[in-house]
Structure 1
Amino acid sequence: MSKRQQNKEERLNRIIEQAEILFLQDGFERVQMQDIADAAELGVATLFRYFPKKDQLIVAAAVRNLTPTLDTFKQLTTAPGDSYTRLEAILDYLLEQQLKQTSHSRFREAFESYASFVTSPLPDIDDYIDLQCEIMKTLEPLIEDGKTDGSLRSDIDVKATVVTIINAFGTFGNNIILKSHISYLEDDIEPAIQQRVLREMLLSYVRP
């Protein structure tokens, strides 16, 4: 890569990184392109050359945010062990991320809420959808092994069940953690306890 191209890549990464911070801090609607340019130490005209519309930058930040999940799923779904063990590892990874209440998970929840309420599809939203599809495709080795290795029930649709479990656990966990400050919860049913209960319920359903 040439020095010029390297500088361009570094500038792009800095723009997206600063945009994600500001979007999470102040909200997608309130943040202006000038705010992002200032945070990235760029002229606003330069910023618009990279992203002519703010919504394009919002999607780019969401794609960057989700990419580590793809890398982790690739590792977990091809790791040694039977299908049940790998499914358990995925749920443990999701639980760990949720309990950390990381800025990554909070940004993802905020983005998906924002994207679902806009009147027309966000520009470049297909990039985010394609990345989600790639994450689901990483489950194929786990699913195929689950049909034959005996670690999952033989009377279920393995693909439908595995995908549903992961989506349900991920959605529930993010929702209950991120909204815990506005929800009434007794001490003995705090979010972490509910997440662990759901984890065991889901895993027990697939055990032979």
Structure 2
Amino acid sequence: MASHLSNRELAKKKRKETILAAAEKLFLHKGIDNTTMDEIAKEADIGIATLFRYFPKKEIIIQTVATAKLQILMDALKEIEQQTSSCMEMMTAVMDFFINQMSEDEGALPKLLDNFINYKAVAIDSFDDLDMYYEMRDEISIVFTRMIDKHKNDGTIKQELSTAQILSTILSNFSVFTFKLSLKGNEKLPAPELTSEEQLIIMKRVFLDYLRP
């Protein structure tokens, strides 16, 4: 009996993952607002009734996908925290993570998070709650703060800079810049002279030069 239940739960987990993968693909290529539940069901090769049993509202899918992207960031931060030994090394690794995400999975992480933030701003009332997303976001802030506090007095960055200045002004702005640059190419605009990655590398150098004592 226990084995049967275990297999059933495994099947449910796999079905849920299939739905989320289908939704992410559609969100990435069509945008969150332009994706319907019918399209998600079709992409996942399931009936619409089955989809609603797993996710009664599209907003639940949206929040789950966005939170999964934050989890990727969280995992990366914890790895960086373990592998770096100075504040400058840590800041460089964090910025490199964002730059590398531009080419990972079609830039899914920055594109989907930017799309989610914009969607949430205009459709906040559509969400029953955003607890899962906010909890992950707050946990990331805690880890960021801990990383900076641990190394900020090691002599590799300006001593007068506070944790809030580093986190709110530099890292937050760099991540937002990454999100916005990830959208380049989605519109029919003249090709820029510099790629998004090249622009981010320049921005990284500007920030790191400012941080140096």
Specify the TM-score bucket, using the shorter chain as the normaliser.
Answer: 0.7 to 0.9
Q: Determine if the alignment matches structure 1 residue 79 to structure 2 residue 74.
A: no
53-62 vs 85-94, greater mean Cα deviation: 53-62
| Residue identity matched to 1:116 | A
Q: Which runs of 5+ in 1 are unaligned?
A: none
Distance in 2 separating the partners of 1:185 and 1:23: 24
- Over residues 143-188 of structure 1, what are the superposed CA-to-partner deviations in whole Å (9 max), with x where a residue is unaligned? 122343222211111343134211111111221341355555752x
Q: Determine if the alignment matches structure 1 residue 23 to structure 2 residue 64.
A: no
In 2, are the aligned partners of 1:91 and 1:169 still within 8 Å (CA)?
A: yes
| Partner secondary structure for residue 125 of structure 2 | coil
Q: Determine if the alignment matches structure 1 residue 135 to structure 2 residue 140.
A: yes
In 1, are the aligned partners of 2:37 and 2:48 still within 8 Å (CA)?
A: yes
Instruction: Give the ranges of 4+ consecutive aligned residues of structure 1 lying more than 6 Å apart after TM superposition.
Output: none
Q: 1:76 deviation in Å?
A: 0.6
Distance in 2 separating the partners of 1:104 and 1:161: 22
Q: Which runs of 5+ in 2 are unaligned?
A: none
Distance in 1 separating the partners of 2:162 and 2:84: 23
Distance in 1 separating the partners of 2:192 and 2:39: 41
Q: Determine if the alignment matches structure 1 residue 161 to structure 2 residue 131.
A: no
Distance in 2 separating the partners of 1:165 and 1:116: 23
| Partner secondary structure for residue 207 of structure 2 | helix
Give the TM-score normalised by structure 1: 0.87
Give the TM-score normalised by structure 2: 0.85
User: Relative to structure 1, is the Cα distance of residues 9 and 165 closer, same or farther in structure 2, using a 3 angstrom cutoff?
Assistant: same
User: Relative to structure 1, is the Cα distance of residues 123 and 202 closer, same or farther in structure 2, using a 3 angstrom cutoff?
Assistant: same
Distance in 2 separating the partners of 1:30 and 1:92: 31
5 Å-filtered alignment, 1:112-123, equals 112-118=117-123, 120=125, 122-123=127-128
User: Relative to structure 1, is the Cα distance of residues 151 and 26 closer, same or farther in structure 2, using a 3 angstrom cutoff?
Assistant: same
In 2, are the aligned partners of 1:76 and 1:89 still within 8 Å (CA)?
A: yes
| Partner secondary structure for residue 83 of structure 2 | coil
Identity, in percent, stands at 27
Distance in 2 separating the partners of 1:185 and 1:196: 18
Distance in 2 separating the partners of 1:80 and 1:34: 46
Distance in 1 separating the partners of 2:182 and 2:49: 39
